[in-house]
Amino acid sequence: MTAKPAAPILRIRPEIEALEDSRIVEVWKLGFEVPDVIGLWVGEGDLPTPAFICAAAAAALKSGDTFYTYKRGIPELRQALIDYHRDIYGITLGDDRIAVTSAGMNAMMLAIESILGAGDNAVVVTPVWPNIFATVEIMGGEVRHMPLQRRADGWHLDLDKMFALCDGRTRLLYMASPGNPTGWVMSREEQQAVLDFARRRGLWILADEVYARLIYDGAKGRKAAPSFLELARPDDPVIVVNSFSKSWAMTGWRVGWMVMPPKLMHVVDRLIEFNTSGGQPFLQAGCVAAIKQGEPFVAELIERYRASRDLVVQRLGGMRRVELSRPEAAFYIMFGVQGMTDSLAFAKKLVHEARVGLAPGSAFGPGGEGHLRICFASSTERLSKAMDRLEPFLN
């Protein structure tokens, strides 16, 4: 009998094999098996997309708007985004700087694909949404973590330490402001210092501004958190990523956008072709409606989340083991727990025993261990019930 030839070894890139599973998802999956769990682990609210947005998308779908379209977004949406940046930030963007993407995550991947290669590194302000780590690693790059420091008055960035992390292989500075999971907001002065440094050193800035509209404190009449776009010249090495997910309750739609220097557009246009070949025109019709008609909803959402934040801060602040500062923006609280050394194990324990789902701080980089993240984008009634369940475990 002739022996069968050995099966060939199928090679997978080491960078992909080494990618870690999301610890947030690891905890989230436990909830599928636990009845009556209150899930506050992932970054979305409990409200569905407003009816006027859905109606616009449905009308476009019904009218047959189902064919391939412009790779970087339908002209109506690009113009709406130009108008949006003028109204919110007081700036004028050229159409050659805007690309609509298949979610904010897709925009981040397009930016990293454009900039990083094997052996390059990116300096990343942490704790932060962990997908940025994987995005850099997929391209064979190295993540250099720059942890924020939590104090009684909030989270703080040491710019000198961040700049010292940069070397000859650094290509990119990444920061999310407002931040997930911290609610940290970069000041105008910090943004200017980072921009000046990037100009001197020839580095790219990737600014994640997905939570820009969800700002509660220190707004001083502003409609959004400070943006790098308010400081950057059109030719500056700045890429700003945004999304429809958070401010318009559209997480499942998977539509975002990015603003970049005109010189980068031909690269991004080509990468969109190779990644997705463009987005769905009927969904983009809903996004146009979100921008043109959505300001009252955004205002209502901010006030709803403000009340939810204040309730959670008040309740958690009264629990003996908890250490926290009030977040300025976004819809998360990253709080420390005295005596907790393994946030993943503790988060799993809370799912099973408290029936509340939180994200482990270790998911967000080295500065996150010892913390848990709660998403407070829910009704105060639901959050009150969650606090009642958590209290015995955090006292």
Name the domain boundary from 260, 293, 326.
Answer: 293
Does one domain contain both 42 and 70? no
pLDDT above 90: residue 217? no
Average pLDDT over residues 144-165: 94
Does one domain contain both 286 and 236? yes
pLDDT above 90: residue 4? no
Does one domain contain both 37 and 86? no
pLDDT of residue 30: 87
pLDDT above 70: residue 315? yes
pLDDT above 80: residue 284? yes
Q: What angle do CA 131, 135, 141 make, to 5 degrees?
A: 135
pLDDT of residue 2: 66
Does one domain contain both 29 and 69? no
Name the domain boundary from 262, 293, 324.
Answer: 293
pLDDT band at 218 (very low <50, low <70, confident <90, very high): low
Does one domain contain both 232 and 367? no
pLDDT of residue 16: 85
Q: Is 9 inside any structural domain? A: no
DSSP conformation letters of 96-130:
GGEEEESSHHHHHHHHHHHH--TT-EEEEEES--T
Joined tokens for residue 52: 């006027």
- Identify the H or E element spanning 380: helix 380-394
Does one domain contain both 105 and 150? yes
Name the domain boundary from 278, 293, 308.
Answer: 293
Does one domain contain both 308 and 337? yes
- The SS3 of residue 99 is strand
Q: Is 365 inside any structural domain? A: yes
pLDDT of residue 358: 97
pLDDT of residue 5: 74
In sequence order, the β-bridge partners of residue 333 are 374
Q: Is 179 inside any structural domain? A: yes
pLDDT of residue 366: 83
pLDDT band at 307 (very low <50, low <70, confident <90, very high): very high
pLDDT in tens, 160-209: 999 999 999 999 999 999 999 999 999 999 999 999 999 999 999 999 99
Does one domain contain both 285 and 386? no
Q: Is 1 inside any structural domain? A: no
Contact 368, 334 (CB under 8 A): yes
Domain of 34? 21-48+296-394
- Residue 341: which CATH number? 3.90.1150.10
pLDDT above 90: residue 379? yes
- Residue 25 one-letter amino acid: V
Joined tokens for residue 77: 């949406």
DSSP class of residue 351?
Answer: I
Q: Is 10 inside any structural domain? A: no
Q: CA-CA distance, 343 to 361, in Å (whole number)?
A: 6
Does one domain contain both 112 and 225? yes
pLDDT band at 22 (very low <50, low <70, confident <90, very high): confident
Number of domains composing the chain: 2
pLDDT of residue 390: 98
Does one domain contain both 113 and 173? yes
pLDDT in tens, 256-267: 999 999 999 999
Does one domain contain both 200 and 343? no
Does one domain contain both 183 and 134? yes
pLDDT above 80: residue 120? yes
Among 149-158, 308-317, 340-349, the range scoring the smallest mean pLDDT is 149-158
Q: How many CB atoms lie within 10 A of CB 365?
A: 23
pLDDT of residue 43: 92
% of the chain at pLDDT higher than 90: 88
Q: Is 257 inside any structural domain? A: yes
Q: What is the pTM of this model?
A: 0.94
What is the residue whose two structure tokens read 């947030």?
24
In sequence order, the β-bridge partners of residue 243 are 256
- Residue 64: which CATH number? 3.40.640.10
pLDDT of residue 173: 98
